[in-house]
Amino acid sequence: MKTCVVVTALVIAALVPSRSQAQSRVSIELGGVVSAYDVVGSRTGATSAAIRTPDSTSSSSVVSGGPTETVSQGIAAFEVRPTVTLQGGFLMGVGFRVGQAGIDGGSGASLVGADIALGYQHMFGRFMPFIKGMFGLNSYDTTAVNRQTDLRLDAVIGSRLYLSNRMFVSASAFAGWGDRYGASLSVGADIVHVFRRGVMP
């Protein structure tokens, strides 16, 4: 009985809107991401469905697919993601990541990447669920002198939970072309609130 009361109280507290809600927000998120990215052979690459664009000096070709022998899997990266959300539901963000590929120990390569995301969000009390499409690239060290760039296109679904008027935690899952599938967890804050004319904060 006590457990039911506590759970009910938490749900009500989460759904009840805070005293003031901004119509538009500029936010920044800091967090981590893990993905079931394939690391194939002596170089890091996406799944067989992805497009690879090697940018080493020894090759300028574009390769579709890649080797089938999988040596190791997985990437883990730290991400920084500035995001703009508007009252009408529009969401736009850019992301920057740095980390490592081949986290299962089979092989490893340094990783940097960037992306741009467009989507839709809506506030429900303290929750802000969202859905977005994300297009970006990952760039890896394949050898001491060569790098490889892989394109990626992901569908993302997740939600923010506002802990205060500005602070929030965000969790999401994604799947797509390149990153395969994975998840991210971050903490963030609204650095700018924009209120509709005539509505006081």
pLDDT at 69 over 90: no
Predicted confidence at residue 28, as pLDDT, reads 97
Residue 5 lies in a domain: no
How many domains is the chain built from? 1
Predicted confidence at residue 64, as pLDDT, reads 45
Which has more confidence, 10 or 26? 26
Residue 95 lies in a domain: yes
User: pTM for the complete prediction?
Assistant: 0.72
Which has more confidence, 85 or 19? 85
Residue 124 lies in a domain: yes
User: What single string gives the DSSP state of each residue in 128-164?
Assistant: EEEEEEEEEEEEEE-SSS-EEEEEEEEEEEEEEEESS
Residue 13 lies in a domain: no
Instruction: Report the mean per-residue pLDDT for the chain.
Output: 76
The span from the first CA to the last CA of the chain, in angstroms, equals 38
CATH number at residue 45: 2.40.160.20
Residue 48 lies in a domain: yes
pLDDT at 14 over 50: no
Residue 167 lies in a domain: yes
pLDDT at 181 over 60: yes
CB 201 within 8 A of CB 195: yes
Residue 1 lies in a domain: no
Question: Which residues form the domain of 78?
Answer: 18-194
* Tokens matching residue 19: 């005293």
